[in-house]
Amino acid sequence: MKNIILIDKPIGLTSNDVVCKIKKVYGYKKVGHAGTLDPQASGLLVIGINRGTKLLANLLFDDKQYEATFTFGIKTNTGDAQGKIIKKCQSHVTLTTIKKASKFFLTNEYYQTPPIFSAKKINGIRAYKLALASKKVKLKPQLVKIKKMKIIKFDAQQQTLKIVINVTKGFYVRSFCNDFAKKLKTIAYVSALRRTKSGKYDLKHALSLDTYLCQNKPIKVV
């Protein structure tokens, strides 16, 4: 597909930061992305350039795949490692209880409330900006589904869980982490997150942002 490039977004940059860098370096009139990645998350960012931006609206509906690590017994205000710790507790999650909870979420679609520290807009203002200003943030739950979930590693001593999940559009891993922890009668936060797939696009075909910025012309994915 012409005018689409795949970038492996580094931790610390917003999706919009990446868009602005590409636009500034190459002078493209139009640059956009097909799905936001949190600053604390890394991985696949599908970028549309000029005519490619017209394709992004449809690409937003694509399923996504993530590698995520949950740390139980700790809760942060943002739901990830970037936030402040607001609560701690003794966690005694086991692999057995994790598998049981996984079946519950894999059975049906469920209504998920987006994190208040997110790019969702409320009356034209980003939710995270309202949250940072200590304003009341109320976001509507949205119907999402986990299509696949694979347990990669569970460390009972450290109370950490690494998984790979395939999800529908609009899915927030941070919200799922919170919901999953509640099902396990504990708390948790996303200590690591990496997007590995977006629709038909795979992270293994992506290049680092630095690679694109150091080249004279971005490689187009056809």
Determine the Cα–Cα distance for residues 6 and 33; give it in Å rounded to an integer. Answer: 10
Which of 8, 38, 80, 179 is catalytic? The answer is 38
Determine the Cα–Cα distance for residues 56 and 158; give it in Å rounded to an integer. Answer: 40
Determine the Cα–Cα distance for residues 69 and 88; give it in Å rounded to an integer. Answer: 17
For residues 58-91, b (16+ Cβ closer than 10 Å) or e, as one string? ebbebbbbbbbbbbbbbbbbbbbbbbeeeeeeeb
Determine the Cα–Cα distance for residues 111 and 47; give it in Å rounded to an integer. Answer: 29
**Active-site residue 38, yes or no?**
yes
Instruction: Look at residues 47, 67, 54, 2 and name the one whose alpha carbon lies nearest to residue 213.
Output: 47
Determine the Cα–Cα distance for residues 77 and 31; give it in Å rounded to an integer. Answer: 32
Active site residues: 38
